[in-house]
Chain A
């Protein structure tokens, strides 16, 4: 069974541009989480989608947005990129039920220059 897949693996953008990151969850999972992991920091929660709806949002500016498609895959968009947006962006998927673990992708390394 395929795991959580993220694309691209690496992404280099210049300041002010937009970045689009993609995530395909494990088949059957309806929940997708997005996290930012900047160098030297822990996981910062970005967004949580379930059944196509945004369920929760972390403490990030509105230029961080996303969506979940009918097939439960998800997209994270970052507009007006800033240098401090450089980080590893991790996607995780799970069933939206108790006691179930989240499975993580390998992440997208975004570098803003």
Chain B
């Protein structure tokens, strides 16, 4: 089955700093790739997704590019805000049975 390795947290940044959260995966076939975000006290919600090689998913200033050659889907944002403080999860979706596999999550704290 699929597996995912996500950058260990916690990550602490100052407002307007550049963010990268690394994510690499192993999968058979051609998975779709997702990033989910969990704000404090809430459930998970989809942040962005990419469904084929070289696709770039983007939302709320966050971006991630599907890199098939390096099996990676790193999350980036050019200028983080305090409101971005949350836990971020990388999740490949199997192309054979559609099961989502989640990484352990990366806690991001942005200080003013």
Measuring CB to CB, which residues of chain A are less than 8 angstroms from any residue of chain B? 4, 31, 33, 35, 41-43, 45, 48, 55-56, 90, 92, 94, 96-107
Contact = CB atoms under 8 A, between A and B. Distances in A.
B14 interface: no
Contact of A43 (B46, B51, B95, B105): B105
Contacts, number: 55
Given A90-B44, A107-B43, A98 B100 contact: no
B42 A106 contact: yes
Interface in B14-71: 32, 34, 36, 42-46, 49, 51
A90 B43 contact: yes
A31 B95 CA distance: 15
Given A42-B105, A101-B34, A31 B45 contact: no
A67 B34 CA distance: 27
A45 B100 CA distance: 9
B31 to A, nearest CB: 9
Interface in B58-111: 89, 93, 95, 97-105
Contacts of B93: 98-99
Given A42-B104, A98-B32, A106-B43, 12 more contacts: A31-B98, A42-B89, A42-B103, A43-B105, A90-B43, A92-B100, A98-B51, A99-B49, A99-B51, A99-B93, A104-B36, A104-B43
A71 B43 CA distance: 23
A96 B46 contact: no
Given A104-B45, A106-B42, A56 B99 contact: yes
A43 B102 CA distance: 7
14 contacts: A31-B98, A41-B104, A42-B6, A42-B102, A42-B103, A42-B105, A92-B100, A94-B100, A96-B98, A98-B93, A100-B98, A102-B100, A105-B43, A107-B43
Nearest to B106: A42
Cβ-closest 5 pairs across A and B: A42-B104, A104-B43, A42-B105, A104-B44, A43-B102
